[in-house]
A and B are shown apart, each in its own frame.
Chain A
Amino acid sequence: MLSTGSNLPDSVSDKLPPKPEIGLPLWLLAELTYRCPLQCPYCSNPLDFAEQGKELTTEQWIKVFREAREMGAAQLGFSGGEPLVRQDLAELIAEARKLGFYTNLITSGIGLTEQKISDFKKAGLDHIQISFQASDEQVNNLLAGSKKAFAQKLEMARAVKAHGYPMVLNFVTHRHNIDKIDQIIELCIALEADFVELATCQFYGWAQLNRVGLLPTKEQLVSAERITNEYRAKLEAEGHPCKLIFVTPDYYEERPKACMNGWGSIFLTVTPDGTALPCHGARQMPVQFPNVRDHSMQHIWYDSFGFNRFRGYDWMPEPCRSCDEKEKDFGGCRCQAFMLTGDASNADPVCSKSEHHGVILKAREEAEHATQTIEQLAFRNERNSRLIAKS
């Protein structure tokens, strides 16, 4: 077989491990809309979200669900933007559940009502995840760019449990709230969360733009992780079912994460306008991605250029190419490599073997001295989006 895209001598490419068989798209993320009443400065939506194309119709989404389900997709996440903005959400949930999906609603809680919670339950929704900005009312509201946000979220979290759903609470942590991680955890336990995601923000989309104002210091991170571990031990000793998931920012690692478990290996994201992506951050890359309006999911997953672009190992340049860790981390995150080095096939600069690792070291250094306040962050809204898209 001809090796595609490689211009290295055969002797080197011969040593590459065989291309693994293409896995099933077990996870489908349906980004129903980019519309959102909030303006989080760490939002992972593309910076030019306000300039994106028309949203898929109800029928188009249902076709996507049906085809993906036939191909083995089992988990379906409804996300956005704010998925509650879609008037057909209950209908989409019902269809997905009928197909056998495990249905997850990933929401900020804004726009949620008791009525909707109960309607969705009837439609067959399996789980609701509510994301918070912080445990502290003021910081939360400032970050979300909305005054009533926090009280609304608390009320909805209680209603979600009262209606018999399992609940995941998601806190995006960063330098302005991570020191309150004990309060965050206490709040989640009080709200009876089944899972708590303490996710240090990852730097894509708006978060990358605001990186200096968001990245916690090493010290902040170490202390937050220690506190989390203490709570874990306590919960376990009590036989408490609540599970704490702590996601560190890879900026403090020497090896990258095995992003999305490998390109096109289990995740499939469909964006509001129907573009299919192997990862929700991939849109910004200079790669042609297929659209569900033009192609079947079968074609998109197995045959499209975009989904095959970084499968296997053929595409890797050095240092990944000859590295014996490539089957473990697949060279890290393609989006991050592109964002920070300008070339998506480079090693993720988080890796200390990358010649661009200095960017990461510099970011860590900057985190030690950053003085940006929350007010100085660029909030995710249409005005900023259009300004950025134009410049």
Chain B
Amino acid sequence: MSFDRSKTPTWRTGYRFQYEQAQKGHVLLYPEGMIKLNDSAALIGGLIDGQRDVAAIIAELNMQFPDVPELGEDIEQFMEVARAQHWIELA
């Protein structure tokens, strides 16, 4: 199944992406819970703003990391997982 890159991700209501100084990393906070994000998830998460669609996020990161192959697939995969976990909505 091919991924539709024209969809725009938004964090689900009540989910907040933020930097935590004490943990030296980004986390996703939600009702009574917290997920610590790894570096690549944090980079993608930082670009989810309700404006950029998936294609724009991929383009943005491709510019920052021109030498990383398969970046697009990684980002698609993140979106799939985040949607399955109901962290984000894709519309």
A binds B: yes
* Best-buried of B15, B21, B22, B23 by chain A (most CB within 10 Å): B22
B69: Cβ under 8 A from any A Cβ: no
| CB < 8 Å A-B pair total | 54
* Minimum distance in angstroms from B16 CB to a CB of chain A: 6
Q: A266's closest neighbor in chain B, by CB?
A: B34
A241: Cβ under 8 A from any B Cβ: yes
B48: Cβ under 8 A from any A Cβ: no
Which B residues are in CB contact (< 8 Å) with A89?
none
* Minimum distance in angstroms from A165 CB to a CB of chain B: 7
Interface residues of B in 6-37 (CB under 8 A from A): 12-16, 18, 20-23, 27, 29-34
Q: How far is B72's CA from A100's CA once the two chains are assembled, in angstroms?
A: 32
Which A residues are in CB contact (< 8 Å) with B20?
72, 74
Query: Binding site of A, secondary structure by majority: helix, strand, loop or mixed?
Result: loop
In contact, B31 and A24 (Cβ under 8 angstroms): no
Query: Binding site of B, secondary structure by majority: helix, strand, loop or mixed?
Result: loop
Give the contact-size bracket for chain B.
10 to 19
Which B residues are in CB contact (< 8 Å) with A74?
20, 27, 29, 34
A341: Cβ under 8 A from any B Cβ: no
Which B residues are in CB contact (< 8 Å) with A24?
22-23
B86: Cβ under 8 A from any A Cβ: yes
B: residues with CB less than 8 A from A are 12-16, 18, 20-23, 27, 29-34, 86
A: residues with CB less than 8 A from B are 24, 26, 71-72, 74-75, 77, 100, 102, 104, 126-127, 129, 164-168, 194-195, 241, 243
Given pairs A74-B29, A102-B34, A165-B14, 16 additional interface contacts (CB within 8 A): A24-B22, A72-B23, A74-B20, A75-B33, A75-B34, A77-B32, A100-B18, A102-B30, A126-B14, A127-B30, A129-B31, A166-B12, A167-B31, A194-B14, A195-B32, A241-B86
